[in-house]
């Protein structure tokens, strides 16, 4: 019962679920957050508790309800009585063309991608300090320059990048704060032609999509990594963000 405890937001599916499985295999206990994916969250909890009984709890919360996040923090701590790390993985992502973007979309995107990590961290600082905890924020390689037709999302992720570096300074030396900026990991939900996919792959020096498992491995490294490593955002993009370097 002394195993470290990690909160993962948006944990029920895709990247969040893979991170959960990987960390659980490494011996962490988990608090898995979800919003609407209750069936997937319950299934993942049952799967992991079947391997190690009483090692995984789940919590439902709409992260746009910012005034409820302090209460969410209390519920997280009630699960196992301690907290050693937080992975802010939950994210809304969809196109917001400039001429048709709405305040509601802005509220949703800024809340899930930046405001919720801020206020949730604020509420969990005392617990994390007790165990020299670590925070990992899932940023995006498009946070700096933006993604076409996703300006509001890109702005929100840019705010998360700023939050990551700012928290690293504010919370040192007790709590380390780092980020992961994934590149092309999973093809988008809307169909792409073979030509469009090849165009994307042509921009990636590694010549392939990243694997979700590689994000999970990076998260595990940052949770248990060097005690001197904080304030960094690792671009897990197959070298895509380095293409501006000379090839001579």
Binned at pLDDT 50, 70 and 90, residue 189 comes out as low
Q: Tell which wins on pLDDT, 247 or 203.
A: 203
User: What is the mean predicted confidence (pLDDT) over 38-50?
Assistant: 98
Q: Which of 65-69, 159-163, 184-188, 200-204 has the lowest mean pLDDT?
A: 184-188
Assess if residue 245 is contained within a domain. no
Residue 71 lies in a domain: yes
Task: Judge contact between 182 and 204, C-beta under 8 A.
Answer: no
Does residue 130 belong to any structural domain of this protein?
A: yes
* Residue of higher predicted confidence among 245 and 6: 6
Domain count, the chain: 1
Bridge-partner residues for 19, per DSSP?
Answer: none
Give the DSSP letter of residue 129.
Answer: H
Residue 229 falls inside a structural domain: yes
DSSP three-state, residue 238 = coil
Do the domain assignments include residue 222? yes
Active site residue 153: yes
pLDDT at residue 17 tops 80: yes
Question: For residue 197, what pLDDT band results from cuts at 50, 70 and 90?
Answer: confident
Instruction: Inform me whether the pLDDT recorded for 71 exceeds 90.
Output: yes
Is it the case that residue 243 has pLDDT exceeding 90? Answer: no
Residue among 90, 68, 119 nearest 9 (CA):
90
Query: What pLDDT band is residue 1 in, cutting at 50, 70 and 90?
Result: low
In a domain, 246, yes or no: no
Please report whether residue 113 resides in a domain: yes
DSSP state of 240: G
Tell me: cis bond preceding 173? Omega within 30 of 0 counts.
yes
Residue 29, domain extent:
5-240
What pLDDT is attached to residue 248? Answer: 33
At 94, is the pLDDT very low, low, confident or very high (cuts 50, 70, 90)?
Answer: confident
The catalytic position among 28, 34, 94, 153 is 153
pLDDT, tens digit, 9 for 90 and up, residues 230-240 = 999 999 989 88
For residues 124-136, average pLDDT: 98
Stretch 125-153: mean pLDDT: 91
Report pLDDT digits (tens) over 18-29: 999 999 999 999
pLDDT over 80 (residue 10): yes
Highest mean pLDDT pick, 135-139, 182-186, 198-202: 135-139
* Residue 32 is assigned to a structural domain of this protein: yes
- The yes-or-no verdict on residue 247 having pLDDT over 80 is no
Task: Tell me which DSSP letter residue 3 carries.
Answer: S
Q: What is the pLDDT of residue 187?
A: 73
Look up the CATH number of the domain holding residue 214.
3.40.50.720
Decide which of 233 and 241 is more confident: 233
Instruction: Give yes or no for a contact between 178 and 220, defined as CB atoms under 8 angstroms apart.
Output: no
């Amino acid at each position: 019962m002394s195993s470290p405890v990690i909160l993962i937001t948006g944990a029920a599916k895709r990247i969040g679920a893979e991170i959960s499985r990987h960390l659980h295999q490494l011996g962490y206990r988990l608090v898995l957050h979800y919003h609407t994916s209750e069936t997937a969250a319950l299934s993942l909890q049952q799967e992991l508790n079947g391997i190690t009984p009483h090692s995984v709890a789940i919590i439902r919360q709409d992260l746009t309800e910012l005034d409820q996040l302090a209460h969410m923090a209390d519920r997280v701590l009630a699960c196992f009585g301690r907290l050693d790390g937080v992975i802010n993985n939950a994210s809304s992502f969809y196109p917001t063309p400039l001429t048709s973007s709405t305040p509601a979309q802005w509220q949703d995107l800024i809340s899930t991608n930046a405001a919720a990590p801020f206020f949730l961290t604020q509420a969990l600082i005392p617990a994390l300090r007790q165990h020299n905890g670590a925070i990992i924020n899932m940023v995006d390689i498009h946070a700096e320059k933006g993604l076409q037709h996703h300006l509001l999302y890109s702005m929100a992720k840019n705010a998360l990048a700023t939050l990551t570096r700012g928290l690293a300074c504010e919370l040192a030396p007790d709590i380390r704060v780092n980020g992961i900026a994934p590149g092309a990991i999973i093809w988008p939900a809307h169909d792409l032609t073979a030509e469009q996919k090849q165009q994307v792959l042509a921009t990636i020096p590694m010549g392939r999509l990243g694997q979700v498992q590689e994000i999970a491995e990076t998260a595990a490294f940052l949770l248990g990594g060097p005690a001197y490593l904080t304030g960094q955002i690792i671009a897990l993009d197959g070298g895509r963000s380095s293409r501006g370097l000379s090839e001579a």
